[in-house]
A and B are shown apart, each in its own frame.
Chain A
Amino acid sequence: MKTLILLLWLLLPSTLAAAVVHTNNAQNTGDGGGVTSASFSLAVTAGNPLITCGVLNNNAVVPDTVTFNSVAMTMVTSVNAGAAENLSLWRLAGQSGTATVQADFSTSVSVSIGCDAFTGADQTTPVGTASTGTDWTSPVSITAPANGLAYNVVGSRIDVSCTALTAGDGQTKHVDVCLDVSPEYFYVGSGSRSTSGAMGWTMLNGGYYFQIGVPLNASADVAVRRRIINP
């Protein structure tokens, strides 16, 4: 019997993939006379963790740094649209626990930030190639990797009011934060799903709209098989 079990394990694929799972999100807004940094706490579950943060500001600048627990995050990409708004997406693998997310800027900005935490992510190449969009009517198209997620952040400056975002195309909404600097309102949202295709949002019209989408890659967990074959 033991020999049979061993043979079955040897016939299994050499890697066992773990699914990417969204575990948490947190957000912050800072406005008025402008801020040069904004910070808040985020809890990240261990187990091939991945943190992603979408940062929208009104001064067309990319943050100098975004950190979690003082560890620098990597910017995936950024997009400018409208008069002065910039949306950037940041990511960091390998860090877990409850700690501070902080975004620092070279100049004063009004800012909305939303971060997500995932488990089961590939720790070497956690995200794939990014797609961006700046057109209200054109959602970005993202291919969901095997056991991974199609993920996107949306940013918008609306001149109407702060109203809850609606995630379209079957995605689950995570972050939904709006900075009220009447008569301007700065949104950041995020969402994900396990299927490929177009990802869009429904929100109030009358402003500027940005979106960044990326595939989130799943970890290839080889540890399970190794433990059993070589206990």
Chain B
Amino acid sequence: MKAILFWLSLLGVAYAAAGGGGTITLPAKSYAPGTYTIPEITLSANFSTFQINLNRTNFTDPGTKVSIMMDLSGDAGKTWVNNACGFSTVGDPATTTKPNVVTCYCTKQNGCDGSSAANKMRGTAVITGQAVTLAGSIVAQ
């Protein structure tokens, strides 16, 4: 098997197991204070982590707070584990060049089977304080 993969690699054929998961993009725009539903997506099989990314370029007001929570379903959306991964953060002019990167892990022991094709994820974003321009993503990979 290793020999076959070696020759495939010489031929320029990608043989690595395809990375599964999926990405929800948080559109770059101004968000007024409130609660936003992040639409669900179906995840392809073979992922092991969740990563929530938030661009902080315009996030300077310390009185404004952003919370992003990801929900996970392992049965194609019939039931959900709420807030399976999440974080809150406040604006800071000193950290506009440092995006938030929050990582959680998918393990069978915690009810997450990354090898299954029946997983879905969705999310909720809550903004308090002032309107803020944000962009980001939730990535299962």
Contacts and interface: CB of A to CB of B under 8 A. Distances in A.
Interface of A: 23-43, 98, 100, 102, 104, 108, 177
Interface residues of B, number: 33
A35 B67 CA distance: 9
A36 B84 contact: no
Nearest to A104: B88
Nearest to B51: A29
B38 interface: no
Interface in B85-130: 85-90, 92, 95-96, 98-105, 107, 109-112
A102 B83 contact: yes
Contacts of A39: 69, 83, 85-87
Complex A-B, nearest 8 residue pairs according to Cβ-Cβ distance, in ascending order: A33-B95, A37-B88, A32-B100, A30-B102, A41-B84, A39-B86, A100-B83, A40-B104
A43 B102 contact: no
A42 B92 contact: no
Interface string B26-65: 0000000000000000000000000000101001000001
A33 B87 contact: no
**Interface residue SS majority, chain B:** strand
B82 interface: yes
B131 interface: no
Q: Which of A26, A29, A33, A108 has the most CB of B within 10 A?
A: A33
A31 B95 CA distance: 11
Contacts of A36: 65, 88-90
Contact of A26 (B56, B87, B107): B107
Q: Which of B84, B98, B103 has the most CB of A within 10 A?
A: B103
A26 B103 CA distance: 11
A177 B92 CA distance: 26
B8 interface: no
A23 B108 CA distance: 12
B109 A32 contact: no
Contact of A41 (B54, B59, B98, B111): B111
B5 interface: no
A27 B92 contact: no
A28 B89 contact: no
Nearest to A26: B110
6 contacts: A24-B110, A28-B85, A41-B72, A41-B84, A98-B81, A100-B86
Contact of B103 (A23, A28, A102): A28
Contacts of B82: 100
A33 B98 contact: yes
A104 to B, nearest CB: 8
A33 B92 contact: yes
A41 B110 contact: yes
A28 B110 contact: no
Given A33-B96, A34-B98, 14 more contacts: A24-B109, A28-B104, A30-B87, A32-B98, A32-B100, A33-B92, A35-B87, A37-B86, A37-B88, A40-B86, A41-B84, A43-B109, A108-B90, A177-B105
Contacts of B107: 26
